[in-house]
Amino acid sequence: MRVDMHTHFLTTTLADALRQRDELPRIIERDGRELVEYVPGVAYPLLAEMIDLDEELARIDAAGIDFAVLSVNIPGLDYFPPADAPTLARDVNDELVAVVSRHPERLAALASLPLQTPDAAAEELERAVGLGLKGAMVYSNVAGRPLDEADFQGVFAAAAELDVPVLLHPTAPLYSRNIESHMLVPVVGFLFDTTVAALRLVYEGLYDRHPDFKLIIGHTGSLIPHLAGRIELEGGRLGAGSALQIAPIDALGRLYTDTISAWPPALRSALDFLGAERILLGTDAPFWEADTTYAALAELGLDSETSARISGGNAVRLFKLTAASR
């Protein structure tokens, strides 16, 4: 069974809101097609499957996916005015609930949150989970604000109380000015930003407050599995996280991640650092082809039990996917 826990669906609600914006992020038209522009000079085409459920299901079927957990594409809601964001989040999540309800045997979804209004975000998470959404996706910064700011602690506390996962996904990187050429934002900027966001959350004490927090860092652990030794050595030598009850390297070992990687050694590094029970199948569709993930996994030569965990079992357990388990 294949459960794709990292696959995107923009929703018509958010697309319509982005079309009305004059500044970034926004939807623009160029050469007869619509593009979602999220940093200067970087945009992606607005594909039919991002807003059309039938097209999305056709893509999922073609990829051999049995069950998919949808999450909203970047740029999400973070750049909308605080006065508008809670209502927009509610509308986006209501659309996701409606989409999932049409095919509950095939689909689940993660809530989008108005983090620029943290109290409203915590309330919306509780409401959305009550309607059946399986957790939330947050971005690596909130329109330039680091996720470890004290204002956002209530949102993470709500997720911990609800016992639902939070997917940490990249967005326009905080340090993007130096990487706005050569498409370096998606190539390296995304992974840098999610890595920094996860480290800041750990050093700020997320796992001291919530030892069992279910944080999923996208894209094969970003840079964390590959830098784990350096994080432990340099961070420890310089006293980073020395006041924490749970050592930073141990907290990082409690992360979950997906299989989105075109390089099998990187996937092996994530598997070695986190363990097979914390790796979940993800394709990053429609931005990546599912075959990219399948090929990387196949090259690892995993045993059948490990393959079954990664392909679907871990996601069923983490997201409590009763429909998928049936």
Confidence category of residue 312, pLDDT binned at 50, 70, 90: very high
66-83 pLDDT tens trace: 999 999 999 999 999 999
CB 4 within 8 A of CB 70: no
Residue 179 and residue 256: Cα distance in Å, rounded? Answer: 27
Instruction: Give the pLDDT score at 194.
Output: 97
Listed in sequence order, the residues at least 6 apart from 94 whose beta carbon sits closer than 8 Å to its beta carbon are 131
Q: What percentage of residues in the chain have a pLDDT greater than 70? A: 99
Q: Is pLDDT at 301 greater than 90 in this prediction?
A: yes
CATH number of 3-325: 3.20.20.140
157-193 pLDDT tens trace: 999 999 999 999 999 888 767 887 887 888 888 999 9
Residue 131, classed as helix, strand or coil, is: coil
Closest Cα partner for 260 from 300, 239, 288? 288
256-284 pLDDT tens trace: 999 999 899 999 999 999 999 999 999 99
Confidence category of residue 326, pLDDT binned at 50, 70, 90: low
Closest Cα partner for 107 from 133, 76, 75? 133
Residue 212 and residue 254: Cα distance in Å, rounded? Answer: 8
Residue 28 and residue 35: Cα distance in Å, rounded? Answer: 5
- Output the pTM of the full model: 0.95
Phi-psi category of residue 165: left, alpha or beta, with phi > 0 → left and psi -120 to 50 → alpha: beta
